[in-house]
Amino acid sequence: MFGFTYYTPTKVVFGRKTEEQVGELILKEGAGKVLVHFGGQSAVRSGLLERIKASLDAAGIEHQELGGVVPNPRLSKVREGIEIGRKMGADFILAVGGGSVIDSAKAIAYALAEPEADVWELFAHTRQAKKCLPVGTVLTIAAAGSEMSNSCVITNEETGEKRSYNDDIARPRFAIMNPELTVTLPDWQTESGCADIMMHTMERYFVNGGTMEITDSIAEALLRTVMHNAEILHHDPANYEARAEVMWASSLAHNGLTGCGNDGGDFATHMLEHEMGGMFDVTHGAGLAAIWGTWARYVMKDCLPRFVRYAVNVMGVEPKENDEATALAGIEAMEAFYRRIGMPTNMRELGIEPTEEQILEMAKSCAAASGGVKGSAKKLYCADMAEIYRRAR
């Protein structure tokens, strides 16, 4: 195992009607001018936004709203939020939504804290952030784990680049989690979220450097729990207990817990999907599901003990005649699970068929964004990335 620092400063307020506490929580942060950032009209139609505004009004907190965040959040919307935040003198950003909204809110918070610099420089990795306005979240989609993580991902629609930036100073001050707020989600979004939650855990699980038994056991239990409840929600979307299990798993999968003691994780699948999202604007979790099986087969022999353990402990595979057969059976069982919840297992099922030229463009961009190489289960270079894209078509 490796030594590690585990830092999770986010206060979690979990349960029914917890969104009514938002004004009180922001007051405790010493803030008085809040930019409320949200996505589509569901927050308006459901009455959630009005309940949040009422709580802010009761606390005497000035606020303005900015909606319109879309999946794979856009740099242009971030810049719009920056302008509004500057004019109102915002001292707190409240994200009402899922990972896309929270990521956009974090980017705005970085920019408002350092107005002299261009926020895209962070995502281009040409500088490091020194300051960030405080961010709070009211979670409406269990998926990205951004409500407790140090990361955010933004798409520059002018260049087609989808890039991430990680820094502990952007970790939300609080995360309000009411599972009831996720009940009306379409099944595609629910199951894409479950795929994303699992991938955040698997990225830290399939490593060749450093493991701990307690971390592995937590990760395996989390994965089994999400799989079980994803299937429940596929048939019974109003099940509160299943919603609650998945929502809490979302946070635990990406707040660092399932990576304690390892080498930092693999995250090649995420990087590969970022290029698919940047080029084709696909749903993130579904994109991860579409590429994972191909990635797994490509790297399996270089990380065989982990794939065997995963097959047996997570997928319930009976050991086969040899380790390779057991590992392959685990990958096949995972893909069968994806199909049961309506997730794709290749790019064609995702609805995209990249040309060879597009494959080479994605691979080149992925390698560049990764510093030339990415992965722990197996080190992937540009040629490897291109081959995975080809096999995943």
For CA atoms 40, 46, 52, 57, the dihedral sign is positive
Nearest alpha-carbon partner for 199 in 123, 291, 276: 291
Place of tokens 């990380």: 303
Give per-residue pLDDT as tens, 290-314. 999 999 999 999 999 999 999 999 9
The DSSP letter of residue 182 is G
For CA atoms 326, 213, 290, 43, the dihedral sign is positive
- Cite the DSSP H helix spans in the chain: 22-28, 42-45, 48-58, 75-88, 99-113, 120-123, 187-205, 213-235, 240-254, 268-280, 284-299, 304-313, 323-340, 347-350, 356-369, 382-391
Query: Three-class SS of residue 23?
Result: helix
Q: How far is residue 212 from each of residues 3, 64, 265, 304, measured CA to CA in Å?
A: 11, 46, 13, 17
In this model, does residue 67 exceed pLDDT 90? yes
pLDDT at 201: 97
Is the pTM value of this prediction over 0.85? yes
Nearest alpha-carbon partner for 294 in 274, 272, 322, 264: 272
Distance CA 215, CA 264 (A): 13
Distance CA 176, CA 174 (A): 7
Is the Cβ–Cβ distance between 32 and 62 less than 8 Å? Answer: yes
In this model, does residue 393 exceed pLDDT 90? yes
pLDDT at 212: 95
For 11-181, CATH number out of 3.40.50.1970, 3.30.2320.80, 3.40.50.280, 3.90.1490.10 equals 3.40.50.1970
Domain map (residue ranges) of the chain:
11-181, 185-391
% pLDDT > 70, the chain = 100
Question: What architecture does CATH give domain 185-391?
Answer: Up-down Bundle (1.20)
Counts of helices then strands in the chain (DSSP H, E): 16, 8
Average pLDDT value for residue range 363-383: 97
pLDDT at 207: 97
Distance CA 177, CA 17 (A): 9
Nearest alpha-carbon partner for 151 in 42, 267, 52, 33: 267
Give per-residue pLDDT as tens, 13-29. 999 999 999 999 999 99
Name residue 62's beta-bridge partners: 33
Average pLDDT value for residue range 329-344: 98
% pLDDT > 90, the chain = 97
Average pLDDT value for residue range 74-91: 98
Supply the angle between the helices 323-340 and 284-299 in degrees, to the nearest 10: 170
What's the chain's average pLDDT? 97
Nearest alpha-carbon partner for 341 in 218, 270, 237: 237
For CA atoms 186, 187, 188, 190, the dihedral sign is positive
Distance CA 166, CA 107 (A): 11
pLDDT at 267: 97
pLDDT at 225: 98
Distance CA 37, CA 60 (A): 18
